[in-house]
Amino acid sequence: MVVIGTYYGHGVGFPPPDAPPPPDAHGMEDLLASLSIPRFIMDLRELRGSGPLHEWFQLAHATGQDAYTIVPLKAYDAILFIDTITPSPAPQKR
């Protein structure tokens, strides 16, 4: 089994949220979006065993998608990032 964490930069075409996100709730999303790659998968198992990126992924970071923090290297084997998500179109009536 491979556990893949899924993150997105922002959504287009969704109704506004009922409540604003907590302050500093986008730690993971901000780092992933800073790569300026629209969609990618990052295999965390291939990170070097030391260095700044490895250290960053070993710390707990807030997410804007959920009301909790996550330690990526403890929670995931890989991360899928999609910069812009949109809702699926409504099914057409026949």
Residue 53 lies in a domain: yes
pTM of the entire predicted model: 0.76
pLDDT tens digit sequence for 55-79: 989 999 887 766 678 899 999 999 9
At 77 the pLDDT is 97
CB of 86 closer than 8 Å to CB of 12: yes
User: In angstroms, what CA-CA distances link 80 with 7, 17, 20, 41, 66?
Assistant: 6, 23, 24, 4, 16
Residue 2 lies in a domain: no
Rounded to whole angstroms, the Cα distance separating 30 from 34 reads 6
Residue 59 lies in a domain: yes
Residues lower than pLDDT 70 in the chain: 17-26, 65-67
Per the structure, the complete domain to which residue 49 belongs is given by 26-35+45-78
CB of 54 closer than 8 Å to CB of 47: yes
73, burial (CB in 10 Å: exposed 0-12, middle 13-18, buried 19+): middle
